[in-house]
């Protein structure tokens, strides 16, 4: 609301209301470098794309449930910040990242030839199975350095958004409950309704739709001029 208050004033009011801040958990990296050679870094921390399906990124993050750990793998288009693919499992391995990639490919209709996929050097991405899946679709892998979160900052930013805005505000009693609620949050809120600063304040799907409409209008004008 634009009010300027000191930190002590806020702390005093919170104490009077019986409120306490949430202590952030110390982040723990899941990245374990694979034995196979890593791909070169083609992105160099430039996480912008001029059009859809030019540059994607992905990562694996951990979700805590009462039943045990759940791992989420993502595939995000850096043009619109849209989550094209995601998969969840009790294990973080190549099967998980491949499932996420396959969903993203289906979302884009199967034509993803030439897309650059950027990730860390975790074994889930350097595995022969994952590399083969990328080659199958004509995708080019790119990887940041081990232990350097900034080299994959766009994926880290999504993980942070997911956890701060949703995961840390809920308790998941089972992995199945977490899967359902997280998938719903991504599909029904993040992609469709959540505004993103990189999209001029528009949600990812709306931003992409506007681009398509502009291109169609430009094509129609060109055809009219030629006729």
Mean pLDDT of the chain: 91
Residue 7 has pLDDT above 90, yes or no: no
Confidence of residue 4 (pLDDT cuts 50, 70, 90): confident
Give the range of the structural domain holding residue 110, as residue numbers without chain letter: 30-194
Q: Which among 78, 118, 85 has a CA at the least distance from the CA of 102? A: 85
| Token pair recorded at residue 195 | 């505004």
Check residue 79 and give its pLDDT.
Answer: 96
Residue 219 has pLDDT above 90, yes or no: no
Phi, psi of 191 (to 5 degrees): -75, -30
Residue with the bigger pLDDT between 120 and 224: it is 120
Confidence of residue 28 (pLDDT cuts 50, 70, 90): low
Check residue 2 and give its pLDDT.
Answer: 79
Task: Give the strand pairing for 116-119 and 68-77.
Answer: unpaired
Which residues is 142 bridged to in the sheet?
Answer: 118
Element (H, E) at 100: helix 94-107
Task: Give the strand pairing for 140-143 and 60-65.
Answer: unpaired
Residue 36 has pLDDT above 90, yes or no: no
Residue with tokens 């790119």: 142
The CA distances from residue 122 to 21, 32, 43, in Å, are: 33, 5, 17
Residues 78, 158 contacting (CB under 8 angstroms): no
Element (H, E) at 107: helix 94-107
Give residue-wise pLDDT tens across range 163-214: 999 999 999 999 999 999 999 999 999 999 999 999 999 999 999 999 988 8
Q: Say which DSSP state 197 is in.
A: G
How far is 152 from 15, CA to CA, in rounded Å? Answer: 38
How far is 165 from 200, CA to CA, in rounded Å? Answer: 20
Element (H, E) at 204: helix 204-226
Residue 40 within any structural domain of the chain: yes
Distance of CA 211 to the CA centre of its chain: 21
Confidence of residue 150 (pLDDT cuts 50, 70, 90): very high
Which sign, positive or negative, has the C-alpha torsion 186, 191, 195, 198? Answer: positive
How far is 124 from 74, CA to CA, in rounded Å? Answer: 12
Residue 7 within any structural domain of the chain: no
Residue 199 within any structural domain of the chain: no
Confidence of residue 37 (pLDDT cuts 50, 70, 90): confident
Residue 64 within any structural domain of the chain: yes
Residue 50 has pLDDT above 70, yes or no: yes
Residues 31, 149 contacting (CB under 8 angstroms): no
Residue with tokens 């679709």: 137
Q: Is 214 left (phi over 0), alpha (psi -120 to 50) or beta?
A: alpha
Residue 71 has pLDDT above 90, yes or no: yes
Residue 3 within any structural domain of the chain: no
Check residue 178 and give its pLDDT.
Answer: 98
Residue with the bigger pLDDT between 207 and 33: it is 207
Q: What percent of the chain has pLDDT over 90?
A: 73
Residue 25 within any structural domain of the chain: no
Q: What is the mean pLDDT of residues 22-50?
A: 77
Number of folded domains that form the chain? 1
Q: What is the pTM of this model?
A: 0.81
Q: What is the CATH number of the domain that holds 44?
A: 3.30.420.10
């Amino acid at each position: 609301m634009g009010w300027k208050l000191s930190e002590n004033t806020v702390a005093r009011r919170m104490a009077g209301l019986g409120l306490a801040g949430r202590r952030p958990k110390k982040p723990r990296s899941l990245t374990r470098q694979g034995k196979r050679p890593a791909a070169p870094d083609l992105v160099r921390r430039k996480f912008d794309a001029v059009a859809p399906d030019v540059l994607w990124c992905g990562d694996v993050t951990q979700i805590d449930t009462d039943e045990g750990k759940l791992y989420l793998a993502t595939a995000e288009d850096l043009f619109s910040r849209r989550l094209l693919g995601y998969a969840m499992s009790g294990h973080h391995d190549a099967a998980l990242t491949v499932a996420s990639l396959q969903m993203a490919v289906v979302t884009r209709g199967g034509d993803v030839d030439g897309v650059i996929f950027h990730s860390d050097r975790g074994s889930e991405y350097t595995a022969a199975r994952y590399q083969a899946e990328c080659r199958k679709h004509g995708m080019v892998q790119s990887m940041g350095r081990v232990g350097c979160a900034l080299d994959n900052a766009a994926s880290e930013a999504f993980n942070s958004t997911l956890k701060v805005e949703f995961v840390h505000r809920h308790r998941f009693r089972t992995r199945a409950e977490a899967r359902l609620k997280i998938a719903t949050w991504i599909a029904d809120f993040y992609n469709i309704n959540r505004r993103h600063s990189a999209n001029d304040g528009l949600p990812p799907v709306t931003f992409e739709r506007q681009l398509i409409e502009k291109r169609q209008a430009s094509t129609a004008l060109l055809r009219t001029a030629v006729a």
